[in-house]
Structure 1
Amino acid sequence: MSVSLQKTLHALSVRLRHFFHIISNIRPIVWIALYVSLIPIFAYFYSQLPDCQFRAPDGADRDYGAWLYYSIVTITTLGFGDYTPAHGLAQTVTAVEVMCGMLTLGFFLNAVGSMKSEIDVEAELEKQRRVHYAVEKEKLMKSIPGVMRNIKTFLAYCYAVTTPLSKRQGDTPDYNPQFSLDDMKDMALPTGLSFDMSKRPAVERLMKSASHTSLCLDSLEARVDLTLWSGLLDNCFAFVANWQMFSAVDSFGNISSDHVPEDVGELYHFIKENADIAMHLEEELTSLVKAG
């Protein structure tokens, strides 16, 4: 076989595959509509042929209704035999209608098969999605208690840093998102929180808590497919990213009461943003636990 012939056959094969791919994507209802529409079209052709082209019983009608009947029994390949093509032109038109009907019916059945395959594939994918969701949710639910502990601790230290020592309530830390820079004046003093026995500066404890929370959320992203919970994923990513970009961590990681770093404004914005994110995370995780 010559190279040119091989190329021609290959090109033809590609075109045929493309053609049948297009055909397979046509909905069955289209083929049914085409199949039905062929009946009146060919009936019209038959009505335009001379009467001598057909054999019909004596006294049989030869109006459009009769040819509509003939077209139906022809395209369905019933062929009762009362009307028969007698000459070449009528035989040709009849043969064309039969072929068109068979092809259309074949394409219809192919479309039904393709649709069934699509339904089966979609059903299998949906089953896999449900299984995947169940597995990931189970992993998430097991991780929630640890994540919640880190978030609550972080918010408690945010409260300690943003609340003057005289106003702190060790048993009921309630972070106030509306705090000001003046409220952070005692951040170098111990937290005063009932669970914090370290006596270290509140801001230092906040830095360690932020680091632990960031690691916890980063680990959660690695272990659980959080794309199933887009809001949760966005908040986890934002918290971790904000912590990684917080350049003043070294300044506040080791602080003393007699020396407060000058870049308090950066800390102020960090707390504002990440405490807000932490509260959203807390709400989302709580709602997931309630939903079961």
Structure 2
Amino acid sequence: MIENLIEQKPKFYGWAYIVFVIAYFVIYLSFQCALGLPESWVDSAYLSLMTITTLGFGDITPTTDIGKIVVSSQAFFGVMILGLFLNSLSHERSKSLSETEKKIEQDRKEELRKSLEMHSCLLLDVFKSANPFAWDKHAKYSASMDELEDFCRSTYSTINTLKNEVGPLHTKMLLETVHQNYDTLLSLTPVAAEISSEYLVVWSSLLSNVRNLKQQYEKSLEAVKEGGSIDWPTNNDISQQVQELIQASLFISKREQIPNKSSKKNA
């Protein structure tokens, strides 16, 4: 009860202050003789205002003991309500500032998240398009997850099947883009850490798979045949990395991740 009383909005105490002014005015006016006060409604109103504000000019004073007690009680309640009002006002101000700061921090983290999303989408965009000139594409020009989500979900489930639409050129472009952008992706680790520990774990997982793809790319370049051709990794070689890259990208883009088949069987 007491906690509820001291945790009200400022306007509650403002109205309480006014109610006390009116209530004591009525008391002074109704019991003037018993309280030893002048018989005038103007004097009663004046005394109520002067007492609750603790100005107390002393030009009107009660002449009976009960009058002194009643007038003193109004001064006490007036100071208490004023204190609660100021405390509530300060609390509301602090709460408003805290919410503003929280909103600013949320907006900042959302911008950081979008930068991670943009770079993860770049890899998927190049992988999807198989454009031989897209390996050096800037991340800000990559397709959004809205445009890539269907491809991601389809590729995740079909990359190791006859239904898959991913060919050697897709693989080549993904590996070249990974190789080109690896240092940039690595430099974004502190960004993920600033968002949350969960984003750091997911980004670290993405980097691990990207690092594996980069190593496969470098290995393929080292094993150039005499005729100058390169044996790019097969879908089986990169399927796990691609699937985990898709899962990480869906998480970073705040999309529902694809259920793990083993989890379904266990369920």
Cα deviation, 1:72-115, whole Å, max 9, x if unaligned, reads 11111122333211111111110000001000001101111111
Alpha carbons of structure 1 residues 147 and 53: separation in structure 2 relative to 1, 3 Å:
same
- The answer (yes or no) to whether the contact 1:214–1:243 under 8 Å persists in 2 is no
Q: Per-residue displacement from partner, 1:109-132 (whole Å, max 9, x unpaired)?
A: 111111122112212212221221
Q: CA deviation at 1:189?
A: 10
Find out whether 1:28 has 2:10 as its counterpart. yes
- TM-score, with length taken from structure 2: 0.54
2:98 to 81, 105, 121: 121
| Alignment CA distance shift 1:88-1:147 (3 Å) | same
* CA deviation map 1:17-50 (0-9, x unaligned): x844x34431000000000110110111112224
- The residue number in structure 1 matching 2:88 is 111
Moved more, 78-87 or 90-99: 78-87
Contact 1:24 1:114 in 2 (8 A): no
Is there any run of 5+ residues in structure 1 with no aligned partner, and where? 1-17, 57-61, 154-174, 176-186, 199-204, 248-292
Q: In the superposition, relative to structure 1, how do residues 88 and 118 fare at CA in structure 2: closer, same or farther (>3 Å)?
A: same
Listed one character per residue, the Cα deviations across residues 227-279 of structure 1 (whole Å, up to 9, x for unaligned) are xx4xxx21xx13xx2666799xxxxxxxxxxxxxxxxxxxxxxxxxxxxxxxx
Question: How far, CA to CA, are the matches of 1:136 and 1:190 in structure 2?
Answer: 30
Opposite residue 35 of structure 1, the aligned amino acid is Y
Letter in 1 for 2:53: T
Q: 1:130 aligns with which of 107, 118, 125?
A: 107
SS of residue in 2 equivalent to 1:66:
helix
Q: Is the 8 A contact 2:47 2:60 kept in 1?
A: yes
Deviation for aligned residue 1:212:
5.1
CA distance in structure 2 between the partners assigned to 1:195 and 1:51 by the alignment: 103
Q: In structure 2, do the counterparts of structure 1 residues 140 and 24 end up closer, same or farther at CA, with 3 Å as the change threshold?
A: farther
Match of 2:77 in 1: 100
Distance 1:90 1:151, change over 3 A: farther
Query: 2:166 and 2:54 mapped to 1: Cα distance?
Result: 93
The amino acid across from 2:245 in the alignment is C
- Where does 1:73-222 land on structure 2 (aligned, <5 Å)? 73-151=50-128, 195=169, 213-220=242-249
* TM-score, with structure 1 as normaliser: 0.50
Aligned partner (choices 37, 48, 61) of residue 30 of structure 2? 48
Partner of 2:189: none
User: Matched residues in 1 for 2:40 and 2:238: separation?
Assistant: 92
Tell me the percent identity: 17
Residue by residue, what CA displacement relative to the aligned partner does 1:45-72 show, whole Å, maximum 9, x if unpaired?
112224374355xxxxx23343122101
How does 1:219-234 map onto structure 2 within 5 Å? 219-220=248-249, 224=252, 226=253, 229=254, 233-234=255-256
Q: CA RMSD in A?
A: 3.7
Extract unaligned runs of 5+ from structure 2: 131-149, 151-160, 173-233
